[in-house]
């Protein structure tokens, strides 16, 4: 069976990571959450005071990047988690503040170039499922299977809200919906690698699909590509 690269792109809170993780688990492929990398850069910048609500110091961020080491490690129950300079930040990066910061730092060319370089190294041996915004267009334009996942902003906000409530975080629907729409706007309109569907990507709108239905579609597409 052929080893391939699977690129999963799409809007925030679409369920990309659930889909990508499940496929990686079923196939024994490596799973890489590139959003976690941008979130970790955001956390790094917030902590160092390089980014506040009103401004971002691009020059300082560029020169501090060499002091930021990112790594994925597999924890005891087989889940891949991100480490920032040796600290497990997998949970801390899931707040709305860090998410908004990630959407801002991800507009910077200097940040994107560094993260894309690291992501391309991870795909050297194929056998990888990577999710993000620019995987099929910039990181792995040669990926054998490209998925572009979409769902309406309202459905995505509702799903995100449930996830946050499950973690006992106090947020309301309107705040989550506003955050989802702001991030969409920035992802689609930024100059550096804006979110767009690669010409050869397969679009899946999962607004009305159950996770099981979605996974079955992906499984079939994966089987087709690896048997070719």
The contact set with ligand DC (CB under 6 A) reads 12, 34-35, 38-39, 99, 102-103, 106, 132-134, 183, 187
- Residue among 133 and 159 whose Cβ is closer to ligand DC: 133
Closest approach, Cβ 103 to ligand DC, in A, equals 3
- Residue among 153 and 226 whose Cβ is closer to ligand DC: 153
156: Cβ–Cβ under 8 A, 6 or more apart, which residues?
A: 11, 12, 13, 14, 180
- Residue among 28 and 132 whose Cβ is closer to ligand DC: 132
- Residue among 27 and 103 whose Cβ is closer to ligand DC: 103
Closest approach, Cβ 1 to ligand DC, in A, equals 27
Strands lying side by side in the sheet with 70-74: 70-74, 80-84, 87-88
Closest approach, Cβ 69 to ligand DC, in A, equals 19
Whether residue 145 contacts residue 8, with contact meaning beta carbons closer than 8 Å, is answered with no
- Give φ, ψ of 134 to 5 degrees: -125, 20
Strands lying side by side in the sheet with 30-33: 30-33, 128-132, 5-10, 145-150, 202-205
Cα(129)–Cα(135) distance, integer angstroms: 10
Whether residue 174 contacts residue 180, with contact meaning beta carbons closer than 8 Å, is answered with no
Closest approach, Cβ 22 to ligand DC, in A, equals 16
- Residue among 35 and 123 whose Cβ is closer to ligand DC: 35
118: Cβ–Cβ under 8 A, 6 or more apart, which residues?
A: 37, 70
Closest approach, Cβ 26 to ligand DC, in A, equals 21
């Amino acid at each position: 069976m052929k080893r391939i690269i699977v690129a999963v792109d799409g809007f925030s809170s679409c369920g990309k990571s659930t889909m990508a993780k499940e496929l990686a688990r079923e196939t024994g492929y490596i799973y890489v959450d590139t959003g976690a990398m941008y979130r970790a850069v955001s956390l790094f910048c917030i902590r160092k005071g390089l980014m506040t609500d009103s401004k971002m110091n691009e020059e300082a961020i560029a020169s501090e990047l060499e002091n930021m080491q990112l790594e994925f490690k597999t924890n005891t129950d087989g889940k891949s988690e991100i480490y920032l300079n040796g600290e497990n930040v997998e949970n801390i990066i899931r707040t709305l503040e860090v998410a908004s910061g990630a959407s801002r730092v991800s507009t910077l060319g200097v940040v994107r170039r560094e993260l894309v370089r690291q992501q391309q190294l991870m795909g050297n041996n194929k056998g990888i499922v990577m999710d993000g915004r620019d995987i099929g267009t910039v990181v792995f334009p040669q990926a054998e299977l490209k998925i572009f996942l979409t769902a309406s902003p309202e459905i995505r906000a509702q799903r995100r809200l449930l996830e946050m409530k499950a973690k006992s975080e106090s947020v309301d629907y309107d705040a989550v919906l506003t955050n989802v729409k702001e991030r969409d706007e920035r992802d689609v309109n930024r100059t550096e690698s804006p979110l767009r569907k690669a010409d050869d990507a397969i679009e899946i709108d999962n607004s009305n699909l159950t996770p099981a239905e979605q996974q079955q579609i992906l499984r079939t597409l994966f089987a087709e590509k690896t048997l070719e």
